[in-house]
Amino acid sequence: MTEITGTGDPARSLSLLWRLVEPSPRGRGAEAGLSVDRVVDAAIALADAEGLGALSMRRLAADLGVGAMTLYTYVPAKAELLDLMVDTALGEFPSLYTPAADHWRARLEAVARASWAQYERHPWLLQVAASGRPPLGPGVLTKYELGLRAVDGTGLDEVAMDAVFTLIEGFVAGTARGVVDQVAAEQATGITETEWWEATAPILDRVFDPERFPTVTRVGPVAGEAQQAAYDPRRAFEFGLARLLDGVAVLVDAAP
Amino acid sequence: MTEITGTGDPARSLSLLWRLVEPSPRGRGAEAGLSVDRVVDAAIALADAEGLGALSMRRLAADLGVGAMTLYTYVPAKAELLDLMVDTALGEFPSLYTPAADHWRARLEAVARASWAQYERHPWLLQVAASGRPPLGPGVLTKYELGLRAVDGTGLDEVAMDAVFTLIEGFVAGTARGVVDQVAAEQATGITETEWWEATAPILDRVFDPERFPTVTRVGPVAGEAQQAAYDPRRAFEFGLARLLDGVAVLVDAAP
DNA sequence: GTTCCTTGTCGTACACTGTACGACTAGCCT
DNA sequence: AGGCTAGTCGTACAGTGTACGACAAGGAAC
């Protein structure tokens, strides 16, 4: 279940994200005391607690004690609601980011860990396809600003600064997605990752041909044993982050 | 729209993936000439042509000229069908992988480019959440085998070999997802990425505060201009791959 | 040659989704 | 007091995956 953002008129979306529309308590004026913010907050709470799959317009409306169609007074459609959710959740970045200041590498590592923490808090962020046309609201821009500052003063030009932040951010998101997928699989099946691996490994052993997959035969069991699973996202995060920062360091050292 | 794999009984899934069940042309015996392979091939063709969103059991059945429930004779549920689709599509890896042989770096780069090509051919692969519990069929294992061979003989131990391949593979998938998201957004809205950016940029200019986002003010326009969009996945791929291989090189050089 | 059993086919039904449409009503302005 | 505006929401539509059970066709047994 992936949702798409960046649908809908850019002008309309941006004015929503930056809350350019007045609260306008006219006419019957917010009968149930609702507002865009209350809707968005409830949506985030629901997605946090029960996953993006549980977030339907009817369910959200029920949580807020109104009819389903009432939500459309505050939000043009579900896609825009998701934009707002993403921007709001990503806006928590500064509270999770405590940079060790002096060296770019320490700052960039802190960015990666803060980003990881965000995805742990709001796993549904990873199920919203926002990379192509991000909701350019205050939350997203704040995260982008702090991310760029981490690589500022390294001698890299503007294009490279953007590329480095995007690379780190994409890496974190990709790896965090592994956690989300595992949790989703556990919830869907009632079987933990370790149990699944223990059930799968012996059957697999019997079914596959060591002559055809000699390197897998040598490496697979060692790696599987080390992780107690087919894939351990947390290990992958630590390993990958170190490699990535090493790679960026090569670039920084080459810069004037 | 993300689908989950790894649901369902591991033993049942594995015997499907490795085609351990006999064709069994008994009873009325495959009336319409159907088979697991025909179903899977048709599903892949449909997803390739019209996206994963168009792949419904009813639609797939219609394409094959049978009733919807007939599919459940060949496949236990949609989740298992997706497993089979993933394994089959990933099994095309060898035909796209032409390693430049001698140096690990050239091999690993070829792995990344072949993987990228796979995701370009079958974008829906990225919408199937397979990272947690991959369908361990012949296709997946073949790709894993060739990926591991690329980093074999570098002095890295087994766990590191697995980690490096996983890192590269995750990077490619994450970056390729950017392309998929953009194409999906274009299809959903009828607006191209460049058009969207040209519509968004000027409004954004007016709405946001340069004092609050000084680094974004400096970097954003330069990066945006260079890419003609908020994000250019192909550039990100080239840039990230170079950084990543540099980082791996640091690790390889440190190994005995 | 008749019967039975196995196996493949598939119509119907259920609970669910996002949201267009239009009816209703409560509050403010004139 | 009358009218208008703006928030509320019931109903409806076209779609989803798949459980259930009815049906039919071929092979095996007598």
Over residues B154-187, the pLDDT tens digits come to 999 999 999 999 999 999 999 999 888 888 888 7
Q: Measuring from the CA of residue B69 to each C1', which nucleotide is nearest?
A: C10
Cα–Cα distances in angstroms (integers) from residue B183 to residues A34, B78, B186, B190, in the given order: 35, 25, 5, 10
Q: Tokens in use for B18? A: 């490795």
CA dihedral A151, B115, A5, A166 (to 10 degrees): 0
Taking an 8 Å cut-off on Cβ atoms, the answer to whether B18 and A208 are in contact is yes
Cβ contact A35 with chain D strand, < 7 A: no
* Cβ count near A155 (within 10 Å): 13
State chain B's maximal CA–CA distance in angstroms: 77
Q: Measuring from the CA of residue A76 to each C1', which nucleotide is nearest?
A: C19
pLDDT, residue A19, reads 84
Taking an 8 Å cut-off on Cβ atoms, the answer to whether B185 and A7 are in contact is yes
Same domain membership, residue A192 and residue A77: no
Give me the number of domains chain A comprises.
Answer: 2
Tell me, yes or no, whether B78 lies in a domain. yes
Contacts of B182 in chain A (CB under 8 A): 132-133
pLDDT, mean over chain B: 87
Question: Measured at the alpha carbon of residue A144, what is the angle toward residues A138 and A150, in degrees to the nearest 5?
Answer: 140
Look up residue B73 and give its DSSP letter. Answer: G
Among B158, B181, B244, the residue with its CB nearest the CB of A223 is B158
Say how many CA atoms lie within 13 Å of B99 toward its Cβ: 17
The Cα of B71 is separated from the nearest Cα of chain A by a number of Å equal to 22
Q: Quick one: pLDDT band at residue A27, thresholds 50, 70, 90?
A: very low
Q: Mean pLDDT check: name the lowest of A33-42, A135-144, A201-210, B238-247.
A: A201-210
Residues 30-89 in B having a C-beta less than 7 A from any atom of strand C are 30-32, 34, 66-70, 72-74
Q: Which of B131, B182, B251 to mutate to test the interface with A (most CBs of A within 10 A)?
A: B131
Same domain membership, residue A79 and residue A109: no
**Residue that is written with structure tokens 């697991």 in the block:** B36
| Three-class SS state of B2 | coil
Mean pLDDT along residues B103-128: 94
Taking an 8 Å cut-off on Cβ atoms, the answer to whether A136 and B7 are in contact is no
Same domain membership, residue A152 and residue A82: no
CATH number at residue A243: 1.10.357.10
pLDDT at A222 over 60: yes
> Between B143 and B194, where is the model more confident?
B143
Same domain membership, residue A119 and residue A57: no
Same domain membership, residue A242 and residue A127: yes
Same domain membership, residue A97 and residue A84: no
Residue that terminates a domain, selected from A88, A119, A139? A88
pLDDT at B1 over 70: no
Taking an 8 Å cut-off on Cβ atoms, the answer to whether B215 and A152 are in contact is yes
pLDDT at B225 over 90: no
Q: Quick one: pLDDT band at residue B247, thresholds 50, 70, 90?
A: very high
Q: Quick one: pLDDT band at residue B102, thresholds 50, 70, 90?
A: confident
Residue that terminates a domain, selected from A37, A64, A88? A88
Tell me, yes or no, whether B68 lies in a domain. yes
Q: Which of B7, B127, B162, B172 to mutate to test the interface with A (most CBs of A within 10 A)?
A: B162
Residue B49, judged by CB atoms within 10 A of its CB (0-12, 13-18, 19+), counts as exposed
Tell me, yes or no, whether B29 lies in a domain. yes
Among B7, B14, B189, the residue with its CB nearest the CB of A207 is B14
Q: Tokens in use for A132? A: 């192509």
pLDDT at B28 over 70: no
Mean pLDDT along residues B41-64: 94
Same domain membership, residue A189 and residue A98: yes
* Cβ count near B135 (within 10 Å): 25
Same domain membership, residue A226 and residue A152: yes
Mind listing the pLDDT tens digit for each residue in A52-107?
989 999 999 999 989 899 999 899 999 999 999 999 999 999 999 988 778 999 99
Contact of A189 with B142, CB cutoff 8 Å: no
Instruction: Quote the percentage of chain A above a pLDDT of 90.
Output: 56
Distance, angstroms, CA A88 to C1' C15?
32
Taking an 8 Å cut-off on Cβ atoms, the answer to whether A220 and B162 are in contact is yes
What is the sign of the dihedral through the CA atoms of B207, B208, B210 and B214?
negative
Same domain membership, residue A104 and residue A73: no
Tell me, yes or no, whether B9 lies in a domain. yes
Q: A-B interface: how many C-beta pairs under 8 angstroms?
A: 252
* Cβ count near B206 (within 10 Å): 7
Mean pLDDT along residues B49-70: 92
pLDDT at B229 over 80: no
Q: Quick one: pLDDT band at residue B205, thresholds 50, 70, 90?
A: confident
* Cβ count near A191 (within 10 Å): 18
Same domain membership, residue A164 and residue A233: yes
Tell me, yes or no, whether B244 lies in a domain. no
pLDDT, mean over chain A: 87
Q: Which of B207, B222, B227 to mutate to test the interface with A (most CBs of A within 10 A)?
A: B207
Tell me, yes or no, whether B207 lies in a domain. no
State chain A's maximal CA–CA distance in angstroms: 76
> Between A207 and A26, where is the model more confident?
A207
pLDDT at A30 over 60: no
Tell me, yes or no, whether B45 lies in a domain. yes
Same domain membership, residue A83 and residue A119: no
Distance, angstroms, CA B75 to C1' C10?
15
Tell me, yes or no, whether B119 lies in a domain. no
Residue that terminates a domain, selected from A88, A103, A126? A88
pLDDT at A232 over 90: no
pLDDT, residue B200, reads 85
Q: Closest residue of B to A124, CA-based? A: B2
Same domain membership, residue A125 and residue A102: yes
CATH number at residue A43: 1.10.10.60
Beta bridge partners of B128: B3
Cβ contact B26 with chain C strand, < 7 A: yes
Range of the domain at A227: 93-254
Contacts of A127 in chain B (CB under 8 A): 2
pLDDT, residue B27, reads 47
Q: Which of B147, B171, B47 is nearest to B93 (CA)?
A: B147
Q: Report chain D positions within 7 A of protein CB atoms.
A: 5-11, 15-21, 24-27
